[in-house]
Chains A and B, each alone.
Chain A
């Protein structure tokens, strides 16, 4: 790979009075445009490592390079204005409006007013918050998720190349967290920032990281690699234990629905006659079909048994389809939907809601089996 954007070289941090260093002789490269996730048990020094990069904690030994330039001895305040910083507690300034909060670093850098104003609106749009509503609000009027959106907007306001994130979504409820993670991944596709992301949650690490560094005590790197490699080839017992027993299941978050072969379950298009439906069902290996409306949107699961049991019109027999999947969804989402579904399958639709096929537990299982077979030989 090219020259690293951030380089930590033999960096240590020890505190007087404690024997073991918080960070011991760490060398680590972060490449341009990647998300490197630091993950490890609590107290392993991952947050300390992150703060060494913007020198909120001064290293006791070693050098730190940014863009190949040694920044170990430059004025830390100047350095930090070039590096975005997002923390779990957000830390918005309560006495300043959302706009003023976002303007913090641009103001420190001496941007002119018009440019700052324009930038505030741009940043609020970026994190999907309406400037007209939120500009002049104060932080206490925001929910936790909204506050962290502003936190991210504030960190990105001066367009830094590097973003440091310390458990940014750690204090947010699971549903909002999931949404923020997805939004952030989408943002990152456009922004291509170089990000160092700290979390204690291995699932979050797998989801967010291009590369993951698994750290043990003293911020020693146990393994640093892509999530796929770490999941399939854990370097040692520590990594294996840290991944936990569900490594294969965790791998499901890396694959999308479009990566597996869809099951071709016959479709019945409305309006359809009962006899036609029965004929189709007889030929279907699963004895199940998907009833579609006239726009090809899935409506109900129809089985032979359910048709025979009742004399009701076809659009009232069988079981309703309440959730569907899109090709971009992860296989973990797919597994969840299938387990909830009454027929052990999930329908897959395209963006406009048109039926594409079905995804079954068997197809998922065969992929997992062929996958782990593949990695065993690799």
Chain B
């Protein structure tokens, strides 16, 4: 048996290892670019003021909070909805939701943030809401797909042995859907960290402020550093997502 299954296990490991290598490599390359910019370009007082360490630190924390809060909101909303629409009798609602949220994702995030600004005013909550709506689709879709790809025979065996519907959901369907759902969450977090750079538009703070200041005051090094930091942050969270996918995956799959 071990001989037969060995190749598939190996292949899985290779793909997983690549998954864990790509993000750190790119983050490292970006860090080198950032360091090169700091070392070899003209840094005047204005640039130094924009890139003041306490400012950057603040913005980093704000970006992380924005990314996390919006992603948490997405998880809280999308997974229960995904579960609800895959229960029997709601296929129409499911299609409607997936289509509508597809539209929301087709809008530029910029537009979405401005629309939410006109409804809820300035502030971090507006950004969190806008980001959540924007990244709802990957998590919802993956929850639906994850639940639907569970082998019907396994569900039937579970029902046939006396699991209640609730037990089938929590003991069989959700554990088996976890890898797909986590992949969706990972996508959402990366989207949210990236889009959090737009939060400054409505007074939500974040690393977008550094980029914005750089643009307005015509300081290219500041723009570059801001962009590099956003990208590194997104890659770090992608890496954490890959780790989660690897270690939260149920054994035996």
Contacts and interface: CB of A to CB of B under 8 A. Distances in A.
B5 A91 contact: no
Interface stretch (A17-25, A139-147, A258-266, A362-370): A139-147
B160 A87 contact: yes
A142 B2 CA distance: 9
A105 B162 contact: yes
Interface string B68-93: 00000000000000000000000000
B252 A94 contact: yes
B159 interface: yes
A263 B214 CA distance: 104
B156 A91 contact: yes
Interface size class of B (residues with CB under 8 A): 20 to 34
B15 interface: no
Interface centre among B154, B155, B172, B176, by most A CB within 10 Å? B154
B160 A139 contact: no
A128 B157 CA distance: 22
Contact of A91 (B2, B157, B250, B251): B157
A93 B163 contact: no
B34 interface: no
A94 B176 contact: yes
B39 interface: no
B163 A108 contact: yes
Given A91-B156, A92-B154, A140 B161 contact: no
Given A80-B161, A141-B1, A93 B172 contact: yes
Given A80-B161, A85-B157, A97 B1 contact: no
Contacts of A79: 162
Contacts of A186: none
B18 interface: no
Interface string A147-182: 000010011000000001000000000000000000
B154 A94 contact: yes
Secondary structure class of chain B's binding surface, majority of residues: helix
B160 A140 contact: no
Interface string A131-142: 000000111111
B102 interface: no
A303 to B, nearest CB: 47
Contacts of B1: 137, 141-143
Contacts of A96: 252
B163 A85 contact: no
Contacts of B5: 140-141
A78 B161 CA distance: 9
B115 to A, nearest CB: 42
B252 A85 contact: no
A80 B159 contact: yes
Contact of A95 (B157, B159, B250): B250
Interface size class of A (residues with CB under 8 A): 20 to 34
Contacts of B159: 56, 80
A192 B163 CA distance: 26
A95 B153 contact: no
B156 to A, nearest CB: 6
A91 B176 CA distance: 13
B10 to A, nearest CB: 14
A96 B251 CA distance: 7
Contacts of B154: 91-94
Contacts of B157: 85, 87, 90-93, 151
A56 B168 CA distance: 14
A87 B156 contact: yes
Contacts of A108: 161-163
Contacts of B16: none
A85 B162 CA distance: 10
Contacts of A140: 5, 252-253
A340 interface: no
A89 B156 CA distance: 10
Contact of A80 (B151, B160, B171): B160
A372 interface: no
Contacts of A137: 1
A207 interface: no
A318 B251 CA distance: 59
A4 to B, nearest CB: 22
A54 interface: yes
B13 to A, nearest CB: 15
B123 interface: no
A129 to B, nearest CB: 11
Contacts of A56: 156, 159-160
A90 B160 CA distance: 11
A30 B151 CA distance: 31
A85 B160 CA distance: 6
Contacts of A105: 161-162
B203 interface: no
B158 interface: yes
Interface string B132-166: 00000000000000000001011111111111100
B159 to A, nearest CB: 6
18 contacts: A56-B156, A56-B159, A78-B162, A79-B162, A81-B162, A85-B161, A91-B153, A91-B156, A91-B157, A92-B154, A93-B157, A93-B172, A96-B252, A104-B158, A105-B162, A140-B5, A141-B1, A143-B1
Interface of A: 54, 56, 77-81, 85, 87, 89-97, 104-105, 108, 137-143, 151, 154-155, 164
Given A87-B153, A91-B157, A93-B154, 6 more contacts: A56-B156, A79-B162, A91-B156, A94-B176, A104-B158, A141-B2
5 tightest A-B CB contacts, nearest first? A91-B157, A138-B252, A89-B153, A81-B162, A85-B160
